[in-house]
Amino acid sequence: MPPEKPHWAHLFGEVVTTGLCTGCSACVVACPYDVLGYDAGAAYKPFHVEATGGIDGCTHGEKGCTLCTRACPRFRNWETEIDQHLFGRTRTDDEVGGISCDTVLARATDPELHEAGQDGGLVSAILVWALEHDVIDAALVSGLEGDGSGWKAVPTVVRDRSGVLRTAGSRYTYSANPLAYAEAIEGGAERIALVGMGCQASAPPVMAARRAGKVARRFVLSVGLMCSKTFDDSIFDELFDARYGLHRQDIEKMNIKGVFQIWMRNGDYHEIPLKEAHGWTREGCMACPDFSAEHADISTGGIGAFNDWTLTVLRTERGRELFAAMVDGGALETRPGDDDPGAIALMRRLSRVSRKRWPATAVPMPGRLPAAQPA
Ligand SMILES: Cc1cc2nc3c(=O)[nH]c(=O)nc-3n(C[C@H](O)[C@H](O)[C@H](O)COP(=O)(O)OP(=O)(O)OC[C@H]3O[C@@H](n4cnc5c(N)ncnc54)[C@H](O)[C@@H]3O)c2cc1C
Ligand code: SF4
Ligand code: SF4
């Protein structure tokens, strides 16, 4: 029998319609025939242009194209394949948050980057450093649509310090950052960094592991954001506005530190219990097993005792080298992860909680706790 060549029909049947699809958009970006679209309105899902095979099939796939399944970080044994590719081994059951070499606290020494960043401004500092030291030509990040007053997060390309500063900070609705790839290429970028939550951070390495061609080669850096969930955009009108009278255009900044923290343009500050927000959890997050952005070169989070530091997990050789160069160059201030053991314990606990979401009906993964096992 000839080897199987899995394509859109398999992706549609095994990932998109089974609840495993996170809406990361990697399949859309990898498709060389432009027959995949993306619904960024409310569904956050890829779809197939019907004219070339219907919603659940693909004429190019039937002729041998497999690029969408090669790019998908939820297709079949994605986790084992990426672990093997990045680290030369699969994780042990104890490595609930993925394989890593070091966990530290870090923050940008540049006051402007530190101030603009959600936590320590580490991600922004990495991007500025990589752009200014000829490591990357562009980065795919998340901006806000229009003047930002609608709080609609949109995939955005940045190519310089001002772009990085403009798009710093966290939005808690979904932004499929890989979708900005086409614009980066049009602008001449050949070496691209991707910033995104775990669902997106796993895309570059899965593409590399499965040899997804040019797209795979162009992603040279993956910076991950730790993440338990994102929310539907309707949370602004239906919860923040309807229940608390907080109009989206008046919101200045948001954070999640046990509660939803909301700062208003007039200086007011509000806290909304997270349990009130659960009803607006985005569907694509419900089966996601990855809290700690387990396949990024560098993963970053905001948990812990020190609000203005970024909890930082160095995973790959590439991530470690870049980080060390930045420290040597004076761009980062660091302190040992042991300064905040509670943050590391919480990261492990949240990782364990997320892993229980991976359905028992999907392919087994290393370290996955049985659904019934308590955290
Ligand atoms: C949706 C979401 C959920 C998160 N949940 C947690 C959590 O539960 N626990 C935790 O410890 N940390 C979480 N984080 C990570 C945390 O908020 C910070 O992003 C991280 O600590 C890095 O901080 P920084 O100051 O170094 O980043 P910054 O220098 O502020 O850079 C942040 C980067 O993230 C990009 N970005 C912002 N919003 C989005 C988005 N919605 N989608 C994709 N990219 C985006 C920005 O464009 C920017 O490039 C979450 C982040 C996001 C976006
Ligand atoms: S998880 Fe990402 S790559 Fe896989 S089908 Fe969904 S959008 Fe496409
Ligand atoms: S929980 Fe976070 S990492 Fe997982 S699918 Fe949702 S946005 Fe992506």
Instruction: Kindly report, residue by residue over 43-80, the tens digit of the pLDDT.
Output: 999 999 977 788 999 999 999 999 999 999 999 999 99
Q: Is the pLDDT of residue 372 over 50?
A: no
Q: Between the CA atoms of 92, 94, 98 and 101, what dihedral angle is there, to the nearest 10 degrees?
A: -90
Say which CATH class 235-280 falls into: alpha beta
Q: Is the pLDDT of residue 370 over 70?
A: no
> Could you tell me which residues come within 8 angstroms of residue 268 by beta carbon, excluding any fewer than 6 positions away?
none
Q: Whose Cα sits closest to atom 4 in ligand 2?
A: 72
Same fold, 8-71 and 235-280: no
Q: Say what the pLDDT of residue 373 is.
A: 46
Average pLDDT over residues 303-307: 92
pLDDT digits (tens, 9 = 90+) for 244-274: 999 999 999 999 998 999 999 999 999 999 9
Q: Is the pLDDT of residue 42 over 90?
A: no
* % of the chain at pLDDT higher than 70: 97
Q: Alpha-carbon Rg of the chain, whole angstroms? A: 20
What's the pTM value of the predicted model, to 2 decimals? 0.97
Of ligand 1's listed atoms, the one at least distance from the Cα of 142 is 47
Rounded to the nearest angstrom, the distance between the alpha carbon of 216 and the centre of ligand 2 is 15
For residue 196, the cross-strand partners are 224
Tell me, what DSSP letter sits at residue 48?
A: E
For the chain, the structural domain boundaries read 8-71, 89-232+281-355, 235-280
Q: Say what the pLDDT of residue 192 is.
A: 98
Coil, helix or strand for 143? Answer: strand
Helices (H), the chain: 8-11, 26-30, 59-62, 67-71, 78-87, 111-116, 122-132, 161-166, 181-186, 198-201, 203-209, 214-218, 235, 242-244, 274-277, 317-328, 341-355
Of ligand 3's listed atoms, the one at least distance from the Cα of 282 is 6
Rounded to the nearest angstrom, the distance between the alpha carbon of 267 and the centre of ligand 3 is 31
pLDDT digits (tens, 9 = 90+) for 180-217: 999 999 999 999 999 999 999 999 999 999 999 999 99
Placement of tokens 């619904």 in the chain: 39
Tell me, what DSSP letter sits at residue 288?
A: -
State if residue 36 touches ligand 2 by the CB under 6 angstroms criterion. Answer: no
State if residue 53 touches ligand 3 by the CB under 6 angstroms criterion. Answer: no
State if residue 24 touches ligand 2 by the CB under 6 angstroms criterion. Answer: yes
Q: Whose Cα sits closest to atom 37 in ligand 1?
A: 170
The verdict on domain 8-71 having CATH code 3.30.70 is yes
Hey, which of 274, 278, 283, 285 would you mutate to test ligand 3's pocket, going by the most ligand atoms within 8 Å of its Cβ?
285
Q: Whose Cα sits closest to atom 8 in ligand 3?
A: 199
Q: Say what the pLDDT of residue 362 is.
A: 84
Q: Say what the pLDDT of residue 51 is.
A: 77
